[in-house]
Amino acid sequence: MQRKFMIIGALMAMLSVAIGAFGAHLLEPIVGESSMKVYETGVQYHMVHALGIIFVAVAAGFWGDSRKLAWAGWLLFAGIILFSGSLYLLAITGIKPLGIITPFGGVAFMIGWICLMAEAISKKKK
């Protein structure tokens, strides 16, 4: 689990940088300012949660594999796809109904962080 989430987290972080660069250098001249702000929000949440997945991998190294950590990692990953992905598509296409998907990603983020917190709470202080 540790290796899997480290790979996924590093891949997601790299994609966040690439997607951000695409937006800054190629997309900005094409879409309006409000669409660019939506896109940039997607990039910010993408990177923060990629780092969260990496943190899940590190936590698994310290605490060992657990169902809560696995859920945390997969929910953060799903959140990136749903939240950031929907914002990217919304900004690029202008199709407003795509915004319906975004809150599902936000909920996945929150539950993922709750799973990580629950795992930390379950660990006894030595």
Q: Rounded to two decimals, what is the model's pTM? A: 0.94
Binned at pLDDT 50, 70 and 90, residue 126 comes out as low
Mean pLDDT in residue range 94-113: 96
User: What's the pLDDT band for 27 if we cut at 50, 70, 90?
Assistant: confident
End-to-end CA distance of the chain: 24
pLDDT above 90 for 77? yes
What residues have CB less than 8 Å from 41, skipping those under 6 apart?
87
Measure CA 101 to chain center: 14
What's the pLDDT band for 29 if we cut at 50, 70, 90? confident
Task: pLDDT band for 31, please (50, 70, 90 cuts).
Answer: confident
Q: Is the pLDDT of residue 50 over 70?
A: yes
Residue 122 has pLDDT above 80, yes or no: yes
Give the C-alpha separation, 81 to 99, whole Å: 13
